[in-house]
Amino acid sequence: MLETITPPIDVPRAHLDPITTLSEKLAVFSLALTRPLRHETIVLCCDASQRGVGIFAFDTKLKITEIIDRIIGSAINIESAVTISLCTSRAGDSRLASDKSQFSVAKNRCQNAGIALTDWLLVAHGDVHVLN
């Protein structure tokens, strides 16, 4: 398991269990993140009842603002996806000064596409940061 996230005891089931808390989202993301940590962004898509309906990964060092259109393009192909949450791993790197502004831009782009970006989490060696 990740050094920064304890192993999940109860992971929400896709299409059945709502994913509403940070710990539930981290449980899902912890199963999807590559180990050892590397640069990637995991996208969790949820329906109107906040049940997981899709998850996919982007293996890239690009900033979130540089891949948000690809994320939106993938998410809108999931018919019932209403919200997305992101989890980025930077392979040991920590927060960037531009993270807050990147989240704001990404959230606006998602809103314009009809999808709500609810969370952006950063998993770095030794810590988990909420970037929204």
> How much of the chain, in percent, has pLDDT values that exceed 70?
92
Rounded to the nearest 5 degrees, what angle is found at the Cα of 59, between the Cα atoms of 23 and 65?
Answer: 80
Mean of the per-residue pLDDT values of the chain:
89
How many independent structural domains does the chain possess?
A: 1
Q: What's this model's pTM, rounded to 2 decimal places?
A: 0.89
91 has pLDDT over 80: no
Task: Look at residue 87 and tell me if it is in a domain.
Answer: yes
For residue 55, give its domain range. 22-130
Beta strands in the chain (DSSP E): 39-46, 52-58, 83-90, 116-124, 127-130
What CATH number is given to the structural domain containing 77? 3.40.140.10
Task: Look at residue 13 and tell me if it is in a domain.
Answer: no
Task: Look at residue 120 and tell me if it is in a domain.
Answer: yes
Task: Look at residue 74 and tell me if it is in a domain.
Answer: yes
